């Protein structure tokens, strides 16, 4: 018997996982079903994520270094860098503004019971209390790190930076560094074979992750935060289903339906793992095999995007800051909302592509306009749910970017040839 395609398997696993989770949730946390099954689900989902993380650093390193090494020598590399930067910043700003507009229109949080604060605060793990200058200082000092240390600790951003510099140096050396350039791209191809193997068990991993996620959410808290969640989800979906497809259609003429079908695998993995970095391996595969993005473009845009381009996170952080302001009874003026917008963009760039990373950088957004950071205690319990969707949007943004930049770079090559 032939198995259905991997896409269909993952989709079915997501649906059955959510149903199984809802059943377990209904049984209650003391039920024998939850007690016996949750640890198994957690272990299975955890192992799948471990496997993805295992290939992450080799993948990021070889992909950025070999991508930049071959791109550097390309006649249009300056243009590609510029369009990438414009695309990343432009779409992230759009997302943050959309988050702000929606929160201003629907004003969630105004009617919430404040005693939720106390309840959630007591169970909260308070992250470090960083002021903006402290945050910037810590952030900047974590960029240039010994590559050995960064790789051993699984720190993606410094690994990307080192790989970028290495790639540029290889490009600069020209033919003299051909052996190294080829070695890096061969290692990359081999790592992608491993990714292929890991993806074969993705349906099992996705089932376990989603079942565990749905089984462990608290229904009561959902009800209180319903409007905030609905508005945020609405914003994320609008960005993912209207803004991105619009950009794609206008710039490249790509039809949204076919695009979504091709990237399903990556969206579902992002949704289940809540991590752009853990999903990167799948994102790369989708871009190369389903979207036919030139490898030299995919290789450098996607790993960079997985750590710095996070539209879903920016939309969420800007919106959540306004939600907190509503809860605290503070009215933010236009200027303050502008600061929130800027900070949300910065915070999304600074957030690594890990589960709930946006929650941690959220503190700097709240602090920038004097909002109580204690309020994230309210957001934490529902963060995993929103994180799943915003991570999928983050990954979609990277994939849309790769198609757009690929399109422009092909056009530039054609223009150049016909000149």
Given the rule CB under 6 A, which residues bind ligand ASP?
A: 274-276, 310, 313, 351, 353-358, 387, 390-391, 394
Token pair of 270 as six digits: 């992002």
- Secondary structure string (H, E, C) spanning the chain: CCCCCHHHHHHHHHHHHHHHHHHHHHHCCCCHHHHHHHHHHHHHHHHHHHHHHHHHHHHHHHHHHHHHHHHHCCCCHHHHHHHHHHHHHHHHHHHHHHHHHHHHHHCCCCCCCCHHHHHHHHCCCCCCCCCHHHHHHHHHHCCCCCHHHHHHHCCHHHHHHHHHHHHHHHHHHHHHHHHHHHHHHHHHHHHHHHHHHHHHCHHHHHHHHHHHHHHCCCHHHHHHCHHHHHHHHHHHHHHHHHHHHHHHHHHHCCCHHHHHHHHHHHHHHHHHHCCHHHHHHHHHHHHHHHCCCCHHHHHHHHHHHHHHCCHHHHHHHHHHHHHHHHHHCCCCCHHHHHHHHHHHHHHHHHCCCCCCHHHHHHHHHHHHCCCCHHHHHHHHHHHHHHHHHHHHHHHHHHHHHHHHHHHHHHHHHHHHHHC
Query: Is the CB of 20 or the CB of 210 nearer to ligand ASP?
Result: 210
Q: Name which of 171 and 280 has its Cβ closer to ligand ASP.
A: 280
CB of 270 to ligand ASP, least distance (A): 7
What six digits make up the tokens of 209?
A: 């992750």
CB of 44 to ligand ASP, least distance (A): 20
What is the closest distance, in whole angstroms, from the C-beta atom of residue 161 to ligand ASP in the complex? 18
Return the number of the residue (63 or 394) whose C-beta is nearest ligand ASP: 394
Nearer to ligand ASP, 285 or 390 (CB): 390
Q: Tell me how far, at minimum, the Cβ of 97 lies from ligand ASP, in Å.
A: 17
Q: How far is the CB of 419 from ligand ASP (least distance, A)?
A: 40
Nearest distance, CB of residue 356 and ligand ASP, angstroms: 5
CB 109 within 8 A of CB 327: yes
Q: Burial code of 166-191, b = ≥16 C-beta within 10 A, e = fewer? A: bbbebbeeeeebeebbeebbebbeeb
* CB closer to ligand ASP out of 45 and 353: 353
Give yes or no for a contact between 411 and 253, defined as CB atoms under 8 angstroms apart: no
CB distance 116 to 324 below 8 Å: no
Of residues 184 and 301, the one with the C-beta less far from ligand ASP: 301
Q: Report the first-to-last Cα separation within the chain, whole angstroms.
A: 55
Q: What's the min distance (Å) between Cβ of 237 and ligand ASP? A: 16
> Which CB sits closer to ligand ASP, 44 or 356?
356
Nearer Cβ to ligand ASP (191/306): 306
Smaller CB separation from ligand ASP, 167 or 381: 381
Beta carbon nearer to ligand ASP, 23 or 139: 139
| Closest CB 40 distance from ligand ASP, rounded Å | 24
What is the number of the residue whose Cβ is closest to ligand ASP? 358
Smallest separation, CB 314 to ligand ASP (Å)? 9
Q: How far is the CB of 95 from ligand ASP (least distance, A)?
A: 11
């Amino acid at each position: 018997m032939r198995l259905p395609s991997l896409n269909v398997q993952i989709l079915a696993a997501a649906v059955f996982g959510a149903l199984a989770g809802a059943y377990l949730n209904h049984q209650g946390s003391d039920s024998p079903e939850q007690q016996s099954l949750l640890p198994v689900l957690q272990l299975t989902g955890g192992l799948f994520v471990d496997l993805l993380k295992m290939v992450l650093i080799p993948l990021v390193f070889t992909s950025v270094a070999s991508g930049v090494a071959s791109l550097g020598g390309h006649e249009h590399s300056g243009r590609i860098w510029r369009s990438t930067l414009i695309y990343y910043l432009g779409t992230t700003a759009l997302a943050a503004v959309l988050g702000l507009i929606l929160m201003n229109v629907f004003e969630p949080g105004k009617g919430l019971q404040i005693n939720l604060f106390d309840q959630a605060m007591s169970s909260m793990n308070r992250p470090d209390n960083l002021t903006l200058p402290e945050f910037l200082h810590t952030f900047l000092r974590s960029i240039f790190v010994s590559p050995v240390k960064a790789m051993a600790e699984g720190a993606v951003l410094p690994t990307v930076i080192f790989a970028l510099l290495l790639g540029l140096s290889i490009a600069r050396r020209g033919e003299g560094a051909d052996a190294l350039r080829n070695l890096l791209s061969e290692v990359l191809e081999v790592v992608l074979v491993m990714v292929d193997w890991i993806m074969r068990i993705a349906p099992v991993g996705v089932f376990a992750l989603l079942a565990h996620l749905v089984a462990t959410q608290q229904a009561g808290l959902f009800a209180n935060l319903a409007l905030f969640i609905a508005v945020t989800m609405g914003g994320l979906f609008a960005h993912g289903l209207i803004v991105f497809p619009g950009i794609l259609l206008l710039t490249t003429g790509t039809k949204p339906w076919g695009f979504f079908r091709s990237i399903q695998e990556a969206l579902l993995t992002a949704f289940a793992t809540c991590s752009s970095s853990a999903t990167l391996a799948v994102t790369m595969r989708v871009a190369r095999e389903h979207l036919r993005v030139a490898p030299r473009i995919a290789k450098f845009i996607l790993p960079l995007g997985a750590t710095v381009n996070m539209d879903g996170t920016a939309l969420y952080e800007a919106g959540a800051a306004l939600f907190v302001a509503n809860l605290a009874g503070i009215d933010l003026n236009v200027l303050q909302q502008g600061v929130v917008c800027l900070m949300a963009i910065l915070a999304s760039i600074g957030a690594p592509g890990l589960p709930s990373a946006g929650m941690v950088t959220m503190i700097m957004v709240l602090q920038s306009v004097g909002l109580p950071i204690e309020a994230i205690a309210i957001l934490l319990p529902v963060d995993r749910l929103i994180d799943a969707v915003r991570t999928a949007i983050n990954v979609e943004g990277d994939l849309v970017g790769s198609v757009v930049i690929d399109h422009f770079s092909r056009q530039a090559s054609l223009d150049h040839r016909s000149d």
